Chains A and B, each alone.
Chain A
Amino acid sequence: MSDSQPDAAAFVRETMLPPEPPPLRSTGVLPWLRQNLFSGPLNIALTLLGLGILWLVFSTLWPWLSHAVWNANSMAECRKIVAATHGPDASGACFAIIKHRWNQFVFGFYPVDLYWRPVLAFGTLFLALAPVLFSENRKARWIVTGLALFLTVLISMVLGAKGHELGAMTLLMLAWIVLIERQPGWALLASLIYPFLAVWLLWGGTIWGPVVALAGFAVGFIVWQLLARFGMFAFAAAVVAAALWWLLLSDYVMRGLAAVLPLRLVPVSSDLFGGFVLSITIGVSGIALSLPLGVILALARRSDLPVVKMMAVIFIEFIRGVPLIALLFVASLLLNYFLPPGTNFDIILRVIIMVTLFASAYMAEVIRGGLAALPKGQYEAADALGLDYWKAQRLIILPQALKISIPGIVSTFIGMFKDTTLVTFVGLFDPLKAMSDTIRASFEWKGAYWEPYIFVGSIFFILCFGMSRYSMYLERRLKRDHR
């Protein structure tokens, strides 16, 4: 090499090079295809495999889907129509079952003229969530609340709500939206009241039941404020006062008020609940109740107090070690054993209790992960500021820990929402199995296997996928570091 160095400069080009052809394009369809689908033998094989799978799925499903019948009154009629239009051997989907019975999949056996109540409860859920979830982004908030109002009223109208009902729900939702826009602090309080409103809307009966139950919290709060200077005693006194209210007074107060001012909706009993109304009721109440319980359990498990910690560990590990089905059977078979003789309460309520306990154990583990992921400096900084335990948790630790755990919280919720289908095994009418079986048991729709599954599966997919996308959005929005 080195001895050829002196000669290196000897070469000087004397002729012009002929012009090169233009470089192959690196953008456009063909280069993209080559890069992404056919870049090597393995890649080509994979592409062929993928095309094969696509073709297999498509060739099995397409004829069936393209022969779909939407207008028919029974399975036999569907088959007749398919045979008439596509030949005797053709098979076709019979989505007429969905068109005919969609209301059972969505509302179960809920009285038809009361459909607007679950719709309103679901619509106002978004208003209740607005201050919590969409508070910062005004555009998102307007879109969500506006859509909630518009769709709720529209759907209720289509489902046959009467004029005064429509008017009342529009007024209620409009007032709520104004509250969210003008008085965010009060809107948060409205969100706390929401569960009682939803219970009243779904189950009906006198309004004073939920109001009196809510008043228990107010009583507790007032006692706490009055005795605030006694520190921990005030809290204990508040709990005792609220418990006394609920156990001793509330019944009389409720009856008295109901006699004076009978504001009531037509009561709907729990055995009429079914379909997605049931799933969403169980799912939403489960998550709403399990989140605070999960926070407390997570704090207890990380606490310095050995007894408290041990109890939290036992509870969490027990619940996490047992399948939900077993807990649901406990709810349906054993819960009555654990309560004073003679008590017999609603199966939906029993299931909600079990689902809540189940979800709270998982929630506690997710939140514990968030607490553990928080840098130690945050705890030390809180201590250095002289904050006591609860203030430190409330102002510094939990906001950050909860933010870190959002993906886990949402995936716990998605898991729980999917698990609400298991209530079918304790005799409730979930949309997936019990409802499909019920409809299939009728003479007209015997043999409709796939259509209900496709319909219910799609709705579950949309809801769960939507939630997981939303958690990604929330994660991005709440990200404060690493900009």
Chain B
Amino acid sequence: MVDYPGAASPPFRLSMLIYDRRYRSLTIQAVVFILVMLMASWLIDNTLKNLAIIGKTLSFDFLFRRAGYDIPQQLIPYNSDDTHLRATIVGLLNTLQVSILGCISATILGVIVGVLRLSSNWLIARLMTVYVEVFRNIPLLLWILVILAIFTEIMPAPRDYRGENPAANMILFDLIAPTNRYTAVPGIGMSNPPGIIALGREGISWAFIAYATVLVLAIIGHRILRKWARRVQDRTGRRPTTWWITLAMYLLPVLLLTWHFGLHLIPPVLRGFNFADGINLDNAFVVLWIALTLYTGAFIAEIVRGGILAVSRGQTEAAFALGLRPGRTMSLVILPQALRVIVPPLISQYLNLTKNSSLAIAVGFMDLRGTLGGTTLNQTGREMECMLLMMGIYLILSLIISGGMNVFNSRVKLRER
């Protein structure tokens, strides 16, 4: 709006709150705000009244009382004498564990299937289409229940692995033994352990710190190497071959450390009626992991396929015309463009997977919902506090993941001019 110097702005009248566009937006916002606040206060008022009627108050004291229940699978030491808070943390770690492992395996599966679906091989392309359509159009709960039924009904009992001529055989070079109660997988042992930093009841192994340091150093070294290669390329026009230096940088120290610590796999061995030595993974966890992987993998396959198709063929041809080799065409031209399309929906699939891991309820895996929203809730009778806390934790997880996505998006955003 242009202000003419001659025209004095009209004095403010109350009716302008409604009829004048400049003030109307303020009126609307105030009305909406008041309405929402009234609604919220009504809800809170009702809640307080209802709580008062049954004689409860809102308090989180129960978190520091004895939990008194066991959790079959735990990443940090826990027993039934610990507090509800610690049980919650154990549950949260279980949720994180199955989510992170699920994201990794679903991504691998999804990328393979997505690429194979575009393959020129008619049979494979059709098979992958069938896989994707079948898994996408049937509820996840069904897959969890079916895989659970496979594990409980079809898998052999641990004792079937016994004897000269056992009824069941271990798979993958005698390393993994699926049974109807748990899946025995190899553990990791060190013949020359470097010791542990004790932090209360948990401990961090020096070996872990060593590996982490080596990895970080390798990443830094890789960056320096790439910078150097680019400088050489700018100066001479010829890019030095660096892949073997990179490979050595990542692999050699790891191998050295492994040799130094004497890291090795301890295969599970049947002792008596059960497997020992290795790790016996709770089947609830294995079932949930497999189901989440297969289900989310189908969605990721579609995303990957869409991303690859979104990069037009002309881009490849243009890169070839510029004289780029196929490998560099892929890494410099195709992938950056495909990833821009792939990553945002991919991360929203990670988000879905994390939330879907709450379906652990169907198999009895003690995740966050199983501990805080399950046994703790039932034992303490504090629905309000438990549900609020649980939703808050899930919310924070989601916000962290989507925050990561926003950072990525802003980094790869097309610079439009």
Contact = CB atoms under 8 A, between A and B. Distances in A.
B322 interface: no
Contacts of A323: 355-356, 358, 369, 394
A333 B383 contact: yes
A414 B123 CA distance: 28
Contacts of B36: 311
Given A54-B127, A231-B18, A341-B50, A37 B122 contact: yes
Contact of B139 (A325, A432, A465): A432
A306 B29 contact: yes
Contacts of A461: 134, 137-138
Interface in A418-441: 418-419, 421-422, 424-425, 432-433
Interface string A393-424: 00000000000000000000010001101101
Interface in A39-98: 39, 43, 46-47, 49-51, 53-54
Contact of A341 (B53, B124, B146, B355): B53
A340 B399 CA distance: 32
B51 interface: yes
B28 interface: yes
B398 A321 contact: yes
Interface in B143-161: 145-146, 149, 153
16 contacts: A36-B122, A51-B123, A305-B29, A305-B32, A307-B29, A308-B32, A311-B36, A325-B359, A326-B387, A334-B384, A418-B138, A421-B142, A433-B141, A449-B153, A464-B137, A465-B133
A36 B145 contact: no
A453 interface: yes
A421 B141 contact: yes
B137 A465 contact: yes
Interface string B333-367: 00000000000000000010001101101100000
A42 B355 CA distance: 38
Contacts of A30: none
A143 interface: no
Interface stretch (B5-13, B41-49, B80-88, B252-260): B41-49
Contacts of A186: none
A50 B121 contact: yes
| Ranked 5 nearest A-B pairs via Cβ | A321-B398, A464-B137, A36-B122, A323-B355, A418-B139
Contacts of A50: 121, 123-124, 127
Contacts of A304: 25
B29 A318 contact: no
A301 B351 CA distance: 21
B391 interface: yes
B119 interface: yes
B146 A453 contact: yes
B33 interface: yes
Interface string A317-351: 11011111110011001101111110000000000
A464 B137 CA distance: 5
Contacts of B395: 317-318, 321-322
Contacts of B18: 231-232
